[in-house]
C-alpha cells in the first residue's frame, strides 16, 4: 500500500525531477537535528521546490493528501523551530533551491529575494550596488531570508534599523491550501484590510511558507568605528547610550557583557586580546557608522561624544578602534561569547528575554539576585543588546552542579526566569522565537495570546499541516 507521504514524494519527483526530492538517509540526516543538537526529528524526505509555483503545487498536494510539512532554510533556529517531529509524520520542505536574488533596485532601494537566499549572499549583492541590507547576526553564512522573516530575526543592528519586521516591504507566501499570496507589489500605500504580510512575519512557518520578499536597503556604510568601554553597571551603560543617542543617529550597535564573559573569551579564543588594560565590572561595545565620506569620521565622532562622559567619570576607561581590523577584533569578542562561556563554565540555561529598555538594568540586577536566592550556588548573568532591552540571560550550575544539572534543575530555572520576565512586563522570547523550546511556557504564561493565535492558525491551516508542534 502506498502511504500519503509516498504519494507526495512520488508526485514531486514525477513533476519536478530528482533534484526536487531527497530520500537518501545520509543526505537527510544533517537536517533532522537543530544546529545546537538539542532536538532530533525524523523525516522520510526533503522536498526542494525551485520556484514559487513548484512550492505552491507541493503545498496544495500535501493539503490534499494530509501530509504535514516542516519548512527549512539554513536550519539555524535556536528554539528547534525547523526540526521535524520525532514520529516521522512530516516531510521537510527546504527552500534552499529558491536562492535567486530577483532584483536589486538602486532607485527605490529595494531587493526582491527568494526565501532560500543566504543572508551573507544578500549582503554581498547589495554591497555590489553600493547598498546595504543592515540586519546581521552570527549565523549570517547559513541563515536564509525566509527563515529570518519567519522568525522576525533581530541581531546586532536592531538599535538603529529594527528587526526583520521593519525591513520587510512585502512578501510572497504559499498559504496552507496552496494559494500564493503575492505581497511583492512594492506599493507604498495599500489599505485592503488585514496585512497578510505582517501576519506571516514571525509566524515560524505555521501559517504557510514564505517564498520571497521585498526588502528595504540602505546606503552602504563608508566607514565605521567601534569603541570599547569599561563601566560600573548596566545602568551606567544605558546612561551612556542615551547620551550618545541624543547627540547623533549614527550609533548602530550597543552591546554589554560582564568582565567574566570577556575573560572566558580571552581564555578560549586564540589570539583574542583584552581591549582595555584594566578590569571593569561591565564592558560595553559601541559601534558608529557613517555613509557619507564627507561626514565626521566615526572614530572622531565617538571620541568627541565619549570625552565628556570619561571626564565626568561615567566611563571608567575607553578605547576606540583605529582600524577596520581592530573593529573586527572587538566584534569577534562579542560574537565568541556564547561559545567561550559554554567551553569555560560548562552548560547554562539560556534565556533570550526582553523588558522595556529603561527597565533592563534593574531587571538584570534583580533577576540575578532572585535566581541566586531561589537556588543558592548558581551563577546568573546577562549580556547582549542592552539598547534594545534584550539580553541573553544565562544561569549556570555554579556550586550546585553535576553534569546532569541542566536536566534536573534547568526547567525550574527557566520557569523562574520566565516568571520574573513576565512580572516585569517583558517577553520570554525577544528574538529567537518560540519553536518547540518555549511552546509550553508560552501557553502557561500567555494563555489568551495563545488562544487567539490558535484560532488564527486553525482558520488558515485547519488540518494543522504547517510546521506541526511549533509555536502554537
Nearer to its own copies, 202 or 258 (CB): 202
Task: Report the alpha-carbon distance of residue 292 to residue 377 in Å, rounded.
Answer: 52
User: Least distance (Å) from its own copies to the CB of residue 43?
Assistant: 24
Question: Per CB under 8 A, which of residues 408..437 are in contact with its own copies?
Answer: 425-434
Nearer to its own copies, 110 or 379 (CB): 110
> Of these, 280, 357, 366, 415, which contacts its own copies (CB under 8 A)?
357
Instruction: Please give the helix or strand (H or E) that residue 318 lies within, else none.
Output: strand 317-320
Asked if 382 is part of the footprint of its own copies (rule: CB under 8 A), the reply reads no
Question: Per CB under 8 A, which of residues 200..219 are in contact with its own copies?
Answer: 201-204, 207
CB-based contact 67:90 (threshold 8 Å): yes
Size of the site for its own copies (CB under 8 A): 66
Asked if 156 is part of the footprint of its own copies (rule: CB under 8 A), the reply reads no
Q: Which stretch binds its own copies (CB under 8 A): 1-9, 283-291, 300-308, 455-463?
A: 455-463
Nearer to its own copies, 53 or 323 (CB): 53
CB-based contact 173:196 (threshold 8 Å): yes
> Of these, 24, 26, 189, 270, which contacts its own copies (CB under 8 A)?
189
Q: Which stretch binds its own copies (CB under 8 A): 9-17, 128-136, 180-188, 289-297?
A: 180-188
Between CA 191 and CA 203, with CA 197 as vertex, the angle to 5 degrees is 140
Question: Per CB under 8 A, which of residues 159..178 are in contact with its own copies?
Answer: 163, 165-166, 175
User: Least distance (Å) from its own copies to the CB of residue 339?
Assistant: 22
What burial class does residue 471 get, using C-beta atoms within 10 Å of its C-beta: 0-12 exposed, 13-18 middle, 19+ buried? buried
Nearer to its own copies, 198 or 407 (CB): 198
Nearer to its own copies, 84 or 202 (CB): 202
Asked if 179 is part of the footprint of its own copies (rule: CB under 8 A), the reply reads yes
DSSP 373-425: HHSTT-EEEEEEEGGGTEEEEEEE-GGG--TTHHHHTHHHHHHHHHHHHHHTT
Nearer to its own copies, 309 or 460 (CB): 460
Collapsed DSSP state (helix, strand, coil) of residue 283:
strand
> Of these, 41, 80, 154, 298, which contacts its own copies (CB under 8 A)?
154
Binding mask 90-109 for its own copies (x = CB under 8 A): -----------------xx-
Q: Which stretch binds its own copies (CB under 8 A): 119-127, 131-139, 149-157, 283-291?
A: 149-157
User: Least distance (Å) from its own copies to the CB of residue 193?
Assistant: 5
Count, residues in the chain: 472
CB-based contact 286:225 (threshold 8 Å): no
Question: Per CB under 8 A, which of residues 384..413 are in contact with its own copies?
Answer: 385, 388-390
Task: Report the alpha-carbon distance of residue 34 to residue 81 in Å, rounded.
Answer: 8
Asked if 452 is part of the footprint of its own copies (rule: CB under 8 A), the reply reads yes
Strands (DSSP E) contained in 178-304 are 180-182, 209-216, 218-219, 223-231, 251-258, 282-290
Q: Which residues of 137-150 are buried (b: 16+ CB within 10 A; e: fewer)?
A: bbbbeebbbbbbbb
Asked if 77 is part of the footprint of its own copies (rule: CB under 8 A), the reply reads no
Nearer to its own copies, 183 or 401 (CB): 183
What burial class does residue 359 get, using C-beta atoms within 10 Å of its C-beta: 0-12 exposed, 13-18 middle, 19+ buried? middle
Q: What is the 3-state secondary structure (H, E, C) of 76-137?
A: CCCCCCCCCCCCCCEEEEECCCCCCEEEEECCCCEEEEECCCEHHHHHHHHHHCCEECCCCC
Q: Which stretch binds its own copies (CB under 8 A): 3-11, 64-72, 187-195, 271-279?
A: 187-195
Strand order in the sheet with 180-182: 101-105, 110-114, 209-216, 168-174, 180-182
Site for its own copies, rule CB under 8 A: 107-108, 151-152, 154, 158, 163, 165-166, 175, 179, 181, 185-196, 198-199, 201-204, 207, 242, 354-358, 385, 388-390, 425-434, 442, 446, 448-453, 455-456, 458-460, 471-472
Amino acid at each position: 500500500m502506498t502511504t500519503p507521504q509516498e504519494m507526495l514524494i512520488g508526485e514531486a519527483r514525477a513533476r519536478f525531477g530528482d533534484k526536487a526530492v531527497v530520500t537518501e538517509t545520509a543526505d537527510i540526516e544533517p537536517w533532522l537535528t537543530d544546529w545546537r543538537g538539542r532536538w532530533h526529528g525524523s523525516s522520510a524526505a526533503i522536498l526542494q521546490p525551485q520556484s514559487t509555483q513548484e512550492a505552491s503545487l507541493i503545498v496544495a498536494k500535501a493539503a490534499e493528501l494530509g501530509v504535514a510539512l516542516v519548512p527549512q532554510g539554513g536550519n539555524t533556529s535556536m528554539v528547534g523551530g525547523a526540526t521535524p517531529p520525532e514520529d516521522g509524520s512530516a516531510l521537510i520542505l527546504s527552500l534552499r533551491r529558491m536562492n535567486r536574488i530577483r532584483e536589486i533596485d538602486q532607485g527605490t532601494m529595494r531587493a526582491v529575494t527568494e526565501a532560500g537566499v543566504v543572508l551573507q549572499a544578500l549582503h554581498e549583492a547589495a554591497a555590489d550596488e553600493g547598498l546595504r541590507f543592515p540586519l546581521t547576526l552570527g549565523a549570517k553564512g547559513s541563515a536564509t531570508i525566509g527563515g529570518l522573516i519567519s522568525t522576525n530575526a533581530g541581531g546586532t543592528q536592531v538599535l538603529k534599523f529594527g528587526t526583520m519586521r521593519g525591513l520587510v516591504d512585502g512578501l510572497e507566501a504559499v498559504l496552507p491550501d496552496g494559494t500564493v499570496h503575492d505581497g511583492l507589489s512594492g506599493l507604498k500605500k495599500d489599505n485592503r484590510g488585514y496585512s497578510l504580510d505582517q501576519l506571516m512575519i514571525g509566524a515560524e512557518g505555521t501559517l504557510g511558507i514564505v517564498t520571497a520578499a521585498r526588502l528595504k536597503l540602505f546606503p552602504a556604510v563608508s566607514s565605521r568605528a567601534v569603541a570599547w568601554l569599561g563601566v560600573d553597571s548596566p545602568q551606567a551603560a544605558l546612561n551612556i547610550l542615551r547620551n550618545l543617542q541624543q547627540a547623533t543617529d549614527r550609533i548602530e550597535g550597543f552591546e554589554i557583557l560582564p568582565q567574566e564573559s570577556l575573560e572566558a573569551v580571552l581564555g578560549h579564543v586564540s589570539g583574542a586580546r583584552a581591549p582595555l588594560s584594566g578590569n571593569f565590572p561591565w564592558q560595553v561595545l559601541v559601534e558608529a557608522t557613517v555613509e557619507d565620506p564627507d561626514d565626521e569620521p566615526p572614530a572622531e565622532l565617538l571620541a568627541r561624544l565619549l570625552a565628556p562622559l570619561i571626564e565626568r567619570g561615567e566611563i571608567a576607561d575607553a578605547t576606540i578602534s583605529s582600524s577596520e581590523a581592530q573593529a573586527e577584533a572587538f566584534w569577534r569578542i562579542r560574537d565568541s561569547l556564547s561559545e567561550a562561556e559554554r567551553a569555560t563554565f560548562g552548560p547554562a540555561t539560556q534565556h533570550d528575554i526582553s523588558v522595556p529598555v529603561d527597565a533592563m538594568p534593574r531587571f538584570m540586577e534583580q533577576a540575578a539576585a532572585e535566581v541566586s536566592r531561589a537556588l543558592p550556588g548558581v551563577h546568573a548573568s546577562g549580556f547582549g543588546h542592552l539598547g534594545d532591552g534584550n539580553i541573553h540571560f544565562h544561569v549556570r550550575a555554579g556550586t550546585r552542579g553535576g553534569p546532569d544539572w541542566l536536566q534536573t534543575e534547568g526547567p525550574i530555572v527557566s520557569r523562574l526566569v520566565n516568571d520574573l520576565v513576565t512580572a516585569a512586563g517583558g517577553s520570554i522570547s525577544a528574538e529567537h522565537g518560540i519553536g518547540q523550546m518555549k511552546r509550553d511556557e508560552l501557553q502557561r504564561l500567555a494563555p489568551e495570546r495563545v488562544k487567539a493565535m490558535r484560532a488564527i492558525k486553525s482558520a488558515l491551516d485547519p488540518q494543522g499541516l504547517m510546521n506541526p508542534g511549533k509555536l502554537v
